[in-house]
Structure 1
Amino acid sequence: MEAWKNKIMDSLQGMEEVHPPKDSLLAIKKKLADQKRSKMAKNPRQWMAVAAVMLLLVCANVFVLNNYFTYQESTEQVESAYTGLITNYNIYD
């Protein structure tokens, strides 16, 4: 068991400390900037999709409101036709 430990510890001899390349920080910053730039390039398409959906919602609301007010006008016409018939609510006169 002792020989196994000694063999492992001896395998670590001669190892040198590792240092990163001198320009690695600049390269990382450049890659991050490139990624951010590529994401910003896709951004106008997303905004156009959002604008299209919002436009569809506004058009749908205008359509529904137009139909609602048309329906309200038609019911008012029907009610005005029956107001002369129902004045005293006495059916058997």
Structure 2
Amino acid sequence: MILTADVEVTSRSGLHARPAATLAKLAGRVSSSVTLRSGEKTVNAASVLGLISAGITQGQTVTVACEGEDAEKDLAEIVAAIESGLGD
């Protein structure tokens, strides 16, 4: 099952450096496969370099997609982390 949600990036630096590393660590820990889409670019959320290369800035809306048995729980956890600013 694939579930998606749109979420606004609240981190002051967008998804660069520390916030990207925090998100990638979380995405790698959950059981679902997690991707992030911004405009035409879709990246593996478990890849720090992928997240940074997407050039996602504060206030930008991204689409998070989770695929797997625990997609609902994993999506809620990823969305909550992004909304909280990823420790930035």
* TM-score range relative to shorter protein: under 0.3
Q: Which has the higher strand share?
A: 2
TM-score normalised to the size of structure 1?
A: 0.19
| Greater length-normalized contact order (CA 8 Å, ≥ 6 residues apart) | 2
TM-score normalised to the size of structure 2?
A: 0.20
Q: Which structure has the larger Rg over C-alpha atoms?
A: 1
